[in-house]
Chains A and B, each alone.
Chain A
Amino acid sequence: MKNERKRTFLLITIPILALFICFNTIPLIRGVIYSFTNFKGFGSYDWVGLRNYADLFTDARVGKSYWFTFKLAVVTTIVVNVLSLLLALALNSHIRAKSFFRGAYFLPNILGSLVVAYIFNYFFTYILPAVADMIGIEALRTSILSNPGTAWIGVMVVCAWQAIAMNTIIYISGLQTVPEDVYEAGGLDGATGWKQFKYLTFPLIIPFFSINMVLCIKNFLMVFDQIMALTKGGPAQSTESISYLIYNNGMSGGQFGFQSANAVVFFIVIVIVSVAQMKFSGKKEEQL
């Protein structure tokens, strides 16, 4: 009887584990191996040791893509969390048509980010300049996507537009865990408005804040679709995200080996950021 149970569990685990290893672990290992070669994606290749890694740290284009990706991730995370916390507080207060609003606010999140970015591309390229022209805002007369200094803001807006929906929903479910009597008791001690938020509400929803932070940073660091549809990395490579650079130069640019090294470094960066966030948020949680 006991053996039968053990055998069943093994028969379930082994094939599924094999599948996982075959399409996750092995490609990962192959990626690491390619990173030590000068493989172009086809033909023969030689071992080059750590040269790809050495080149990576002096390559201006790679450096630029890390700078862009982190700038985008940090700024978007801040913008998204401030706005979605505000919206969640509004959606959780006494309002009319609550379920309609909640449903409507989540809508952007279910739409495909590629198509959303195409729509915004048109918006930034034609509509915004036309509107700016009419009301006389000089700075917005040309498309923000065509200027290397401002193109990242366009990417940020599109990422935020979709991500706010997700974060708002998570904050709402956080706010719903705060019992009404906490506010009542706090009210007696004079905690209202901003004070109430700072000392009561926020400390109690910190676990949800952590979730949103982890979700945001990880998603934005891996940004790809929006770049593909908005800028294709341009202008002047100012909006090349790490994923986009790896895809573009690795798959079709003949830099398979070099971009594999880039991907390995990117992987390590993601792990460090995720582990650091989990350590950090694990400490700050407050229990009711």
Chain B
Amino acid sequence: MIEKKTNISAMTVLILGLCTIALPLYLTVVIAFKQPSEMTNSISGILSLPKTWSLNNFREAMEITDFWHSLRNSLLITGLSVVLSIVVHSLMGYALGRNKAKSKFYSFVYLFIVSGMFVPFAILMMPLAKQTAELGLANWFGVIILYVVFYMPMNVLLYSGYLVNIPMALEEAAKVDGASTWRTYWKIIFPIMRPMHATVAVLTALAVWNDVMTPLVIMAGSGENTLPLAQLNFQSQFGTNYNLAFASYLLSLIPILIFYVICQKQILNGVVNGAVK
């Protein structure tokens, strides 16, 4: 194989494109560190680095938005939603995937759940706001339950699709050894589905972490915030102090950026698997 030359025109396109991605992020960082007095309306003033790299803006923004509290809520909701999704959706994917070919009941349940993908949140939003209030679930716990329900169609589709590749012989061998179906699932099937757990975890985590609408509608009265919700609720408190606002934006982006830097490969794989399947 001959080493081909670098494609110059492709490189040019990519570097230009990269600028449109980097510029807003660069501006976010720079503005977050500046003082209001440093904000001028000239190009050099906009692009220049801050005079001092002080963390005061961040400290103040943290106080205004109650950052640690919101972060804790976001981590709690995302973490529990991911764990519950993996457990509940893989079980459901297993039960439906193994039976839908030969049983009318299971194939109906499968279609019923998967077609939930077409239901936009807009139609569920108002009844759910009422229903969660009636059930005393207008809080973070209710939000987690809703996520487990909302992502069920997609994840069940993914799990039962993956199950096709796992031969029945494995389960039958375990059965001969006297293991129950439940035990066989946890000992054999669940570990084998690990690649799909990673995909589901990534998709669910990204969707839950960045979601605004569900907590906005469900948790509005609880006085609690997730990170995105805090941005929305405290937006007016920054007034015209954009430096504080940007410090707050940057703070809310940092956790997911760290996650991306650490697990970039898993995230890219997960997203592609989820979309292509």
A residues contacting B by CB (< 8 A) are 1, 4-5, 8-9, 12-13, 16-17, 19-20, 23-24, 26-28, 30-31, 34, 41, 86-87, 89-91, 93-96, 101-116, 118-120, 122-123, 126-127, 130-131, 133-134, 161, 166, 169-170, 173, 208, 211, 215, 221-222, 224-225, 228-229, 242-243, 246-247, 250-251, 256, 259-260, 263-264, 266-267, 270-271, 274
Q: Smallest distance from the beta carbon of B160 to chain A beta carbons, Å? A: 12
Of all chain B residues, the one with the shortest Cβ separation from A12 is B95
A95 to B193, CA, bound (A): 35
Q: Does B88 contact A (CB under 8 A)?
A: yes
A-B CB contact pairs (8 Å), 15 listed: A5-B181, A16-B91, A16-B152, A23-B128, A95-B10, A107-B21, A108-B21, A110-B257, A111-B256, A131-B43, A134-B42, A222-B122, A260-B123, A267-B118, A267-B120
Q: Does B106 contact A (CB under 8 A)?
A: yes
Question: Do A267 and B119 touch (CB < 8 A)?
Answer: yes
| CB under 8 Å from chain A, chain B span 104-139 | 106, 109, 112-113, 116, 118-131
Question: Do A93 and B21 touch (CB < 8 A)?
Answer: no
Q: Smallest distance from the beta carbon of B205 to chain A beta carbons, Å? A: 10
Instruction: Count residues of B near A (Cβ-Cβ below 8 Å).
Output: 88
Q: Does B99 contact A (CB under 8 A)?
A: yes
Q: Residues of B contacting A130 with CB < 8 Å?
A: 41-43, 46
Q: Residues of B contacting A87 with CB < 8 Å?
A: 13-14, 17
Q: Residues of B contacting A116 with CB < 8 Å?
A: 24
A222 to B106, CA, bound (A): 31
Question: Do A104 and B209 touch (CB < 8 A)?
Answer: no
Of all chain A residues, the one with the shortest Cβ separation from B181 is A8
A220 to B206, CA, bound (A): 18
Interface residues as binary, B132-158 with A (CB distance below 8 Å gives 1, 0 otherwise): 000000000000011011101000000
Q: Residues of B contacting A109 with CB < 8 Å?
A: 271
Q: Does B204 contact A (CB under 8 A)?
A: no
Question: Do A95 and B6 touch (CB < 8 A)?
Answer: yes
Q: Does B169 contact A (CB under 8 A)?
A: no
Of all chain A residues, the one with the shortest Cβ separation from B96 is A13
A127 to B256, CA, bound (A): 26
Q: Known contacts being A8-B181, A94-B4, A118-B249, is A23 close to B146, with CB within 8 Å? A: yes
Q: Residues of A contacting B98 with CB < 8 Å?
A: 9
Q: Is the interface of B mostly helix, strand, loop or mixed?
A: helix
Q: Residues of A contacting B88 with CB < 8 Å?
A: 16, 19
Question: Do B253 and A115 touch (CB < 8 A)?
Answer: yes
Partner of B245 from the list A27, A86, A118 (CB cut-off 8 Å) is A118
Q: Residues of A contacting B129 with CB < 8 Å?
A: 251
| CB under 8 Å from chain A, chain B span 69-125 | 88, 91-92, 94-96, 98-99, 106, 109, 112-113, 116, 118-125
Q: Is the interface of A mostly helix, strand, loop or mixed?
A: helix
Q: Residues of B contacting A263 with CB < 8 Å?
A: 120, 122-123, 125-126
| 7 interchain residue pairs of minimum CB distance | A27-B127, A90-B10, A263-B123, A30-B127, A112-B210, A8-B181, A23-B149
Q: Residues of A contacting B55 with CB < 8 Å?
A: none
Question: Do A16 and B260 touch (CB < 8 A)?
Answer: no
Q: Smallest distance from the beta carbon of A168 to chain B beta carbons, Å? A: 9
Q: Residues of B contacting A271 with CB < 8 Å?
A: 118
Most buried by A among B5, B41, B120: B120
A243 to B14, CA, bound (A): 35
A34 to B20, CA, bound (A): 45
| CB under 8 Å from chain A, chain B span 246-277 | 246, 249, 252-253, 256-257, 259-260, 264, 267-268, 271-272, 275-276
A110 to B94, CA, bound (A): 29
Question: Do B231 and A118 touch (CB < 8 A)?
Answer: yes
Of all chain A residues, the one with the shortest Cβ separation from B115 is A271
A52 to B84, CA, bound (A): 39
Q: Does B192 contact A (CB under 8 A)?
A: no
Question: Do A250 and B125 touch (CB < 8 A)?
Answer: yes
Interface residues as binary, B172-192 with A (CB distance below 8 Å gives 1, 0 otherwise): 000100001110000000000
Question: Do A34 and B256 touch (CB < 8 A)?
Answer: no
Question: Do B24 and A120 touch (CB < 8 A)?
Answer: yes
| CB under 8 Å from chain A, chain B span 198-249 | 206, 209-210, 212-213, 217, 227-228, 231-232, 235, 242, 245-246, 249
Of all chain A residues, the one with the shortest Cβ separation from B210 is A112
Q: Known contacts being A26-B131, A31-B127, A243-B120, is A110 close to B232, with CB within 8 Å? A: no
